[in-house]
């Protein structure tokens, strides 16, 4: 599996999300990256139905059902800090049948859409994160195809990120540090997207100018 790093790009001061995305893509094009189609990742939140909760007063866990256009035939179901299930796209139909156990949270759908760029063996995906009608932030995913062990190529990825994100480079995501020798899989990417979406959701109360 290809190593991917998903991070959030802060919106520049005094600029809109759209303008910042344009700035970023122009930087990539100057670097020599080529446009290569589009991508889309979406996420829906489900919470455990009240009727199935135990009497001990435990709180329901949140479950996230996600799709990624890179894996068009799969559907990912994740718990926070929990296991990740990779299923066929039919899983969506199953979720409708499981209404009694998992209920879709209203207006929780969050997604990111944007353009893919290819630069040598790197694949960069810059997307606008939208929740309902409003744009909330920018996601930057960098994929490095040749490498399969995340901790091996973190410094290399970091250098690449610095070349077009400048000072806004992120810290290493948990996936890159924790497990040393395991092969990176699609689930690791989806966990990163889930964390990014959660971060952006929490920021929604903050006034737009303060988004970081």
What span, in angstroms and rounded, lies between the C-alpha atoms of 190 and 20?
A: 24
Region of 28 (left: φ > 0; alpha: ψ -120 to 50; beta: rest) is alpha
Strand partners, 87: 75
What one-character DSSP code corresponds to residue 171?
Answer: P
Q: Output helix, strand, coil percentages for the chain, rounded to the nearest 5.
A: 35, 35, 30
Beta-sheet pairing, 62-68 with 74-79: antiparallel
Contact 86, 67 (CB under 8 A): no
Task: Report the nearest approach of another protein to the CB of residue 143 (Å).
Answer: 12
Query: In this chain, which of 18, 19, 90, 163 binds another protein, going by CB under 8 A?
Result: 163
Our finding on whether 166 is near another protein (CB under 8 A) is no
Give the nearer residue to another protein in terms of CB position, either 80 or 159: 159
Query: In this chain, which of 183, 199, 206, 212 binds another protein, going by CB under 8 A?
Result: 183
Our finding on whether 46 is near another protein (CB under 8 A) is no
Query: In this chain, which of 153, 175, 194, 200 binds another protein, going by CB under 8 A?
Result: 153
What one-character DSSP code corresponds to residue 181?
Answer: S
Give the nearer residue to another protein in terms of CB position, either 60 or 145: 145
Query: In this chain, which of 152, 172, 195, 203 binds another protein, going by CB under 8 A?
Result: 152
Task: Report the nearest approach of another protein to the CB of residue 2 (Å).
Answer: 8
Our finding on whether 12 is near another protein (CB under 8 A) is no
Give the nearer residue to another protein in terms of CB position, either 60 or 185: 185
Is residue 185 packed enough to be buried (19+ CB in 10 Å), middle (13-18) or exposed (0-12)? middle
Give the nearer residue to another protein in terms of CB position, either 138 or 157: 157
Please give the residues from 49 up to 108 whose contact with another protein meets the rule CB under 8 A: none
User: Residue 136 is inside which H or E element, if any?
Assistant: strand 134-144
Our finding on whether 122 is near another protein (CB under 8 A) is yes
Give the nearer residue to another protein in terms of CB position, either 10 or 32: 32
What span, in angstroms and rounded, lies between the C-alpha atoms of 154 and 67?
A: 25
* Interface with another protein (CB under 8 A): 1-2, 32, 119-122, 145-149, 152-153, 155-156, 159-160, 163, 181, 183
């Amino acid at each position: 599996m290809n190593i991917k790093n998903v991070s959030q790009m802060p919106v520049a001061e005094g600029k809109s999300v759209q303008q910042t995305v344009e700035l970023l893509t122009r930087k990539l094009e100057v670097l020599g990256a080529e446009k290569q189609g589009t991508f889309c990742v979406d996420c829906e939140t489900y919470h455990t139905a009240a009727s199935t909760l135990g009497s001990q007063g435990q709180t329901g866990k949140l479950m996230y059902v996600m799709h990624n256009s890179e894996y068009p035939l799969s559907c990912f179901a994740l718990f926070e800090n929990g296991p990740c299930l990779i299923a066929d796209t039919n899983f969506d139909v199953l979720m409708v049948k499981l209404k009694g156990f998992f209920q879709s949270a209203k207006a929780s759908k969050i997604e990111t859409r944007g353009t893919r760029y290819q630069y040598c063996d790197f694949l960069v995906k810059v997307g606008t994160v939208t929740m309902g009608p409003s744009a909330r932030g920018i996601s930057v995913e960098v994929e490095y195809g040749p490498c399969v062990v995340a901790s091996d190529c973190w410094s290399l990825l970091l250098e690449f990120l610095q070349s077009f994100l400048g000072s806004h480079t992120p810290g290493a995501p948990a996936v890159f540090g924790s497990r040393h020798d395991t092969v990176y899989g699609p689930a690791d990417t989806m966990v990163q997207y889930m964390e990014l979406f959660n971060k952006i959701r929490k920021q929604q109360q903050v006034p737009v100018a303060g988004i970081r």
